[in-house]
Amino acid sequence: MSVAAVAGRRDEARAVSPTPTWTASARGPRRNQADATARFEGRGRVAVAIADGVGDSAAAALAAHAAADHAVRVAVLDGRADLAVLAARDVLLAAGTMIGGDAALTVALSPDPGAVGGTWTVAWVGDCRAWSWDGRAVHPLTRDHTVASEMQAAGVAVAQRLENVLTTSVRTVRGATEIGLVAVPAPAALVLASDGVHRSIDPALVARLVAHVPPPALARTLVDSARAAGTHDNATALVVETRTPAPVIPTPRRP
């Protein structure tokens, strides 16, 4: 099934940073682009986030942008990805009807430059997923906070429509214990995507693309694959090259 002409399609250029990122996004057949991405760097750390507004409305889009933008700043300044999710919640609640919408949110934070090892942390509420690539295998990092995911974990078959019903979101999360949190030791790359991507593409294909498509092209490839598969939603992907290869030193030539 084909999708409507995409408006608001964009790609971000490779960031001038030791930790480059790329994003791609397509509105798809929705009236509003309610997906958002954000990046913030400081104190030797970088945080990235992807948010997916709940519903197809301007309020959902505003909520997603507010949540992602605030979360990356708090993650870097406070040094905690899970606290960044709670801070995003506080922003939406404090804004009241000025924002009004809600969102799913996934935040990834780079290691403390003073710590031993290279452990990233990923925190989330809702159903924006994340994967890591360690140079050999792709690892799913998140588990959807949806009615379908909770029931399937209990061995109960559910209707497909329940995959879109969130059990935890930015606005409704009550505390840190409801936030998903995972540590990722020394990944080569991290990939974050909204459900417009991961619900349209078979998980095996996602893994193949993450493993074989170079990071600069991966975000666009994931979004284009979702569009080709007939996604009915906004589709957004964010790729972080977390382990920059060492420069190649040319071998001196003999005179």
Domains, the chain, in order of start with CATH, read 31-240 (3.60.40.10)
pLDDT attached to residue 161: 67
* Residue 246 pLDDT grade (very low, low, confident, very high; cuts 50, 70, 90): very low
118 falls in which pLDDT band (50, 70, 90)? confident
Highest-pLDDT range among 103-117, 121-135, 160-174: 121-135
Res 163: pLDDT: 72
Pairing of strands 129-133, 189-193: antiparallel
Q: Is the pLDDT of residue 255 over 50?
A: no
Spatial separation of the C-alpha atoms in residues 82 and 109, rounded to whole Å: 10
* pTM of the entire predicted model: 0.86
Which sign does the torsion angle of CA 66, 72, 77, 81 carry?
A: positive
Q: How confident is the model at residue 181 (pLDDT cuts 50, 70, 90)?
A: very high
- How buried is 58 (Cβ within 10 angstroms: 0-12 exposed, 13-18 middle, 19+ buried)? middle
Q: Hey, which residues does 133 pair with through a beta bridge?
A: 138, 189
How many other C-beta atoms are found inside a 10 Å radius of the C-beta of residue 151?
15
Assign 247 to helix, strand or coil. coil
State the SS3 of 164-194: HCECCCCCCCCCHHHCEEEEEECCCEEEEEC
Picking from 10, 16, 12, the residue whose alpha carbon sits closest to that of residue 41 is 16
Q: How many CA atoms lie within 13 A of 84 on its CB side?
A: 36
Tell me what the mean pLDDT of segment 23-41 comes to.
97
Look at residue 12 and tell me whether its pLDDT is greater than 50.
Answer: no
Residue 149 in this model has a pLDDT that exceeds 60: yes
Give the pLDDT confidence score for residue 162 in this predicted structure: 66
